[in-house]
Structure 1
Amino acid sequence: MIKEIIVVEGKDDTVAIKRAVEAETIETGGSAINDEIIKRIKLAQQRRGVIVLTDPDHAGERIRKIITARVPGCKHAFITQEEATSRGDIGVENASPETIRKALSNLRTDYEAAESDITWEDLINAGMIVHPQAAARRMEMGRQLGIGYCNGKQFYNRCRMFRISREEFAVAWKQLEKKEG
């Protein structure tokens, strides 16, 4: 059984989690996350710890940001859009049990006022922003680093929030170059 409580968006996500692992969940009820749910997440974080696993889409990202801002120190699990898509629908409920287990084994923790030695210039030099293939590169790097896909500014913020080191970034970048080469 997973010690932490996993925060998901809805009932179908809970079903998918329970197919993959033995765990308890808190459902946000979608992107309209309210104060009562935040209070439950705060209590869960204090008592057992929290893992946030939301859909890899705009609404899921919005929920993740709200939780991160109001409940610091949560762990985060990410799945890619490709892993979460079935018949045009994106969601945790579409991910395979193996994908969910993999995401839960590659957790990242947010830190208030966290710092990373990754700079904006590093992202430009690596083609993560201001590059014709920037979105595809961020998607692959986000997968390798375990921080998910996001736009350039969010990618930079996640590198800082999850304290991605230059070494981690370099290893992922080399893997990306091999894949592209």
Structure 2
Amino acid sequence: MRIKEVIVVEGKDDTQKIKQAVEADTIETNGSAINPTILDQIKHAYEKRGVIVFTDPDYPGQRIRSIVSERVPGVKHAFLTKDEARDKFDRGIGIEHASSAAIRQALAAVYERDDTPYQSEMTRDDLMRYGLIGHEGAKRRRDYVTKQLRIGYCNGKQLLKRLAMFKISKEQLETVVNAIPEEDKHV
């Protein structure tokens, strides 16, 4: 599998793991201390080939994702779940611990950030009705939904923003909510 866009990762271990899974070029941010020179490289790569931000499913990874998205609007996003990013010995969470199959799946399900104005049809009340916020088990239900939509784990407030950012329709969300395993459906 050849990826035409440049993939933004956190470090050299991530680059090695990506190159085991797919044929791609990467830019390493060297962790969350992302500097202006790296951001300029990412912007240049975006203008020439496009960019996919593929960071760890943790706070520093989300911080890098936000910084890059703000500086280079229009980048694409790939997400791993925490389970996919955990190695079998539970030594940590990160792309470097993911299987090649999980990496290929995440890259195949890339979301393109589209900054054109989009009025989401989803409301906070919808999330309440679906049991994704304000209910016992909401965190577990959100975890299932975000894994299925491959938008990265988020809290209720972030969920509403990500649904809008990735233009996920109410119908798409309902389909995933209706597929929640029976033991998690009771609100």
* Structure 1 and Structure 2 fold alike (TM over 0.5): yes
Structure 1 stretches of 4+ moved >6 Å: none
Contact 1:20 1:97 in 2 (8 A): yes
Following superposition, the deviation at residue 65 of structure 1 comes to 0.8
Larger Rg: 1 or 2? 2
Q: 1:179 to 1:148 in 2, by over 3 A?
A: farther
Q: Hey, what does 1:107 align to over in structure 2?
A: 110
SS at match of 2:106: helix
Following superposition, the deviation at residue 116 of structure 1 comes to 2.1
Where in structure 2 are there 5+ consecutive unaligned residues?
A: none
Distance 1:114 1:62 in 2: 23
Where in structure 1 are there 5+ consecutive unaligned residues?
A: none
Distance 1:6 1:27 in 2: 9
Q: Hey, what does 1:168 align to over in structure 2?
A: 172
Following superposition, the deviation at residue 2 of structure 1 comes to 0.8
Contact 2:141 2:184 in 1 (8 A): no
How much is the aligned-residue C-alpha RMSD, in angstroms? 1.3
SS at match of 1:37: helix
**Please, which of 140, 144, 150 is the counterpart of residue 136 of structure 1?**
140
Distance 1:75 1:169 in 2: 20
Give the fraction of aligned pairs with identical amino acids, expressed as a percent. Answer: 50
Distance 2:68 2:158 in 1: 15
SS at match of 1:121: helix
Contact 1:5 1:51 in 2 (8 A): yes
SS at match of 1:85: coil
- 1:6-155 to structure 2, matched below 5 A, reads 6-86=7-87, 87-112=90-115, 113-155=117-159
Using the size of structure 1 for normalisation, the TM-score is 0.95
SS at match of 1:90: coil
Using the size of structure 2 for normalisation, the TM-score is 0.92
Distance 1:144 1:12 in 2: 26
Contact 1:54 1:61 in 2 (8 A): yes
Distance 2:108 2:10 in 1: 20
**How many aligned positions are there?**
181
